[in-house]
A and B are shown apart, each in its own frame.
Chain A
Amino acid sequence: MLVVENLSKNYGKLKALSEVSFHIKSGEIVGLLGPNGAGKSTALKAITGLVRPNGGNITIGEYDHKDIKAKVLFTYIAETPDLYDMLTVMEHMQFSAYAYSLNNWQDKANNLLELFELKDKANELGKNLSKGMKQKVSICSGLLHNPELLIFDEPFIGLDPKAIRELKNIFRKLKDNGKSILISSHLLDSIEDLCDRLLVLKNGKLIAKGTLDDLKSRLESERFTSLEDVFLEVTK
């Protein structure tokens, strides 16, 4: 579903990403990990076309990531869940429906809002919502057009425990339906039981990739039992 080959991105002299390559298959959840400033958000922005890569290829489905046809296939939930200040929650859903040329979207929109306990906020303006609620609205809008690839930048930050559980359940359901999910997160225990594979970035380079068991076995020590142990060891 997503193929990233030799992705590089420079900001002036700073190499934010250096020859990063990975892929995500259909029905797979992949976690993108890394310390602060590792290049996780830049990688996601490059995939979604928000920043221009200096080198490499990105393919979504069978299309180049900047192709309009590729954009129909994915959704991107940004780290900072900024909404349109002067649109209501339901109007954000309507916006997504129009932008993605959806028909009969209302029922699904209502279901999503209900799932994330936003039903009573449907007519509330974006600017009046808390950060967590904004995050929920972003997620609901992103899920509305039933994308094949879902890209989340720190999706759990700002969410309450119930919403985190609901989102995890949604991730699992989407995976069962053959959707691909790329999650960047600092909350290691939140994604430990969720991801099929992990990618670890450090200083713009992909320093480790594989399943959690792969990474553990590569470290050849029984001391490393959790994702946190593995992460701290490989990024040392």
Chain B
Amino acid sequence: MTTLGFLFLNDLKKFKNYLFEIKSKPWKLLIYILYIGWMVFILYAAFSGSSDEIPGLENIGLKRDIFSIGVKLLVFVLFAYTLHSGTKQFSALFSMGDVNFLFPSPISPKVILAYSMIKSSLFSIISSFFILFFIPLLGNIFGPLSPIGIVYGLTGVITLSIFTIPFSYLTFILSSRFGLKEWLHYFLYAVVVFILGLIGYGVYIHQDIIAGLFWAFNMPYFSYIPIVGWSGELIQMSILGEGSFNPIFLVLQLLAIALTSFFAIYLAEDYYEDVLSITELRAELRKKAKEGRKISYSNSRNLRQKTRQVHVRSVGNGPWAFLWMGLVADKRINGSLVFHKKTLAVLILSIAGGIFLPGKSTFFFYSISGGIAYFAFLMSFHISMDYELKMKHIFVLPGQPWKKILAINIVSILKTCIYIITALLPIGIIFKVPAFSLLAGLVFPITMTILNLFSTVIIHQFIPSNFDLKAFFPIIRIFSFLLLLAPPAIAALWVGTITKSIPLGFYTISFLNLILSVLCLIISNKIFWRLEMR
């Protein structure tokens, strides 16, 4: 058996075991059924013609121009991202099993890398077929699509995603071994400046932003830019149909893949150290995720790179040690609870939104507040401190359960308050929303988050296993909607209608959210014994 064949057989065995494992864990089947159901729903929605044409864009030429610009922009962003991230790290997908078993074995590192690229390419091809889900939607917008155009479009997506695999490694090698990192950055900056300059020139000669953008991206030269232009041309063929140059672009694209793959494998010497740290980091994150800890990739990297020395004063004894621990962790990652990059970004977005958003009215402010509350509802499940609910400290540290639960959630609540105030206050001030209404718009999403955090604790108490949580996720969402969201919303609607006051409706829902939060805390306190370390 060839080495590549042996590696392939090995992966087939893993896949076979994965399928067989369903027998021992039938809950997995529920997850798959839900995913399949979700995909069928998307397909049904797409093919049933429910996706109407984009309103206000009757002009088919304009629609095609917008599609063309969108495709080229996406292709360029992907290219730039691959180039930039490739200069920092090699993102090949190896496991710790590979590190312990495959790397020390007498198999050539070049063969291992080549196989890894082939495997990644197969995944890329399979995931690229999901693009087919959008075909009915594209057909609704742009009219009937030609089969050959679809083939070209799909080929464009596949070849582009395959290209990024050897390109990422080649970029990494060029920057780490040959010291070309800065030059690669300069090249990327030059391309960005060139494109921005082109757009600027287009805006200047047309005296219009949209016209300038169209002019820059629809220049014929754009199609001839290696990879970016070629892929863009191939992808947009899905709606524009076949052109005389498309086969040439396809050949060029395939040649580019072959060449980058050849150079990547040719230079693949002694790269194990390069993939070791990222593989260890991934394994660590996976382990933490299994424990229930949600820690972002970037935060984890920051923590590994340097340990910021922080000092946080005691905030109390017993259960309040959890609050101190949360403050220390946040200070170490972000520097400050209030002043850090993310709040600054939210502040800038809020001010920009306040200035540029049309329809500056109190009602629009309420809509934004509602949108943020909904977003907070979606996110709070992930930001809740479920990790702490699975660690030994929550069980062994002395203190009343409700105090422990409150203490582990306070930092999340404070952060949410800061984000929501930063996001809404500038918009409210610029929109000139009255103070009574402004406060109503602020407290609603905050109380919504608090309710979700405390209700999540109860969910974890009832379903301690992360695996079961995933399986039950849709049902949990339905129940949390019916039991926690609907009653305050109905009450708020009733109060708002009777008093003919939107802010009073907002205050009602906020008040009821707080009452329900306290109720959740009381219930969590009562059923604390259900928590178990997993």
Which chain A residues have a beta carbon within 8 Å of chain B's beta carbons? 45, 48-52, 66, 68-69, 71-72, 74-76, 78, 80-88, 91-92, 95-96, 98-100, 125-126, 138, 141
Contact = CB atoms under 8 A, between A and B. Distances in A.
A97 to B, nearest CB: 10
Interface stretch (B38-46, B103-111, B154-162, B332-340): B103-111
Given A49-B272, A52-B270, A91-B13, A71 B104 contact: yes
Interface string B3-38: 000100110011101100100000000000000000
Contacts of A125: 17, 21
A42 to B, nearest CB: 10
B273 interface: yes
Tell me what chain B mostly uses at the interface: helix, strand, loop, or mixed. helix
B101 interface: yes
25 contacts: A48-B103, A49-B103, A50-B99, A50-B272, A51-B273, A68-B106, A71-B105, A72-B106, A74-B104, A75-B104, A84-B10, A85-B14, A86-B17, A86-B18, A87-B10, A88-B17, A91-B13, A95-B10, A96-B105, A98-B1, A99-B106, A99-B107, A100-B105, A100-B106, A125-B21
Question: Which 3 pairs between the two chains have the least Cβ-Cβ distance?
Answer: A82-B96, A84-B97, A86-B14
A78 B97 CA distance: 10
B2 to A, nearest CB: 11
Nearest to B18: A86
Given A68-B106, A86-B21, 13 more contacts: A49-B272, A50-B273, A52-B273, A71-B105, A74-B104, A75-B104, A76-B104, A84-B97, A85-B14, A86-B15, A99-B105, A125-B17, A126-B97
Nearest to B10: A95
B332 to A, nearest CB: 21
B101 A96 contact: yes
Tell me what chain A mostly uses at the interface: helix, strand, loop, or mixed. mixed
Contacts of A84: 10, 14, 95, 97, 101
B108 A68 contact: yes
A180 to B, nearest CB: 16
A87 to B, nearest CB: 6
B398 to A, nearest CB: 30
A230 B486 CA distance: 71
Interface of B: 1, 6, 9-10, 13-15, 17-18, 21, 95-97, 99-108, 270, 272-273, 276, 283
A81 B100 CA distance: 8
B14 A87 contact: yes
A87 B13 contact: yes
Nearest to B286: A85
A80 B283 CA distance: 11
Contacts of B96: 80, 82
A100 B101 CA distance: 11
Contacts of B1: 98
Contacts of B102: 99
Nearest to A74: B104
B272 A78 contact: no
A50 B101 contact: no
A73 B511 CA distance: 72
Contacts of B18: 86
Contacts of B103: 48-50
Given A51-B276, A99-B6, A125-B17, A71 B101 contact: no
Contact of B17 (A48, A87, A95): A87
A170 B1 CA distance: 32
A141 B101 contact: yes
B100 to A, nearest CB: 5
A92 B17 CA distance: 13
Nearest to B11: A86
Contact of B283 (A52, A82, A87, A96): A82
Contacts of B108: 68
B6 A98 contact: yes
B45 to A, nearest CB: 34
A82 B13 contact: no
Contacts of A98: 1, 6, 9-10
Contacts of B6: 98-99
Contacts of B21: 86, 125
Scoring A71, A85, A86 by chain B CB atoms within 10 A of each residue's CB, the highest score goes to A86
A156 B18 CA distance: 31
A82 B97 contact: yes
Nearest to B283: A82
B13 A78 contact: no
B476 to A, nearest CB: 26
Contacts of A82: 95-97, 99-100, 283
A85 to B, nearest CB: 7
A13 B312 CA distance: 30
A80 B284 CA distance: 11
A96 B13 CA distance: 14
A82 B97 CA distance: 6
Nearest to A76: B104
A66 B270 contact: yes
A49 B100 contact: no
A156 B534 CA distance: 26
Contacts of B272: 49-51
Scoring B13, B100, B103 by chain A CB atoms within 10 A of each residue's CB, the highest score goes to B100
B110 to A, nearest CB: 11
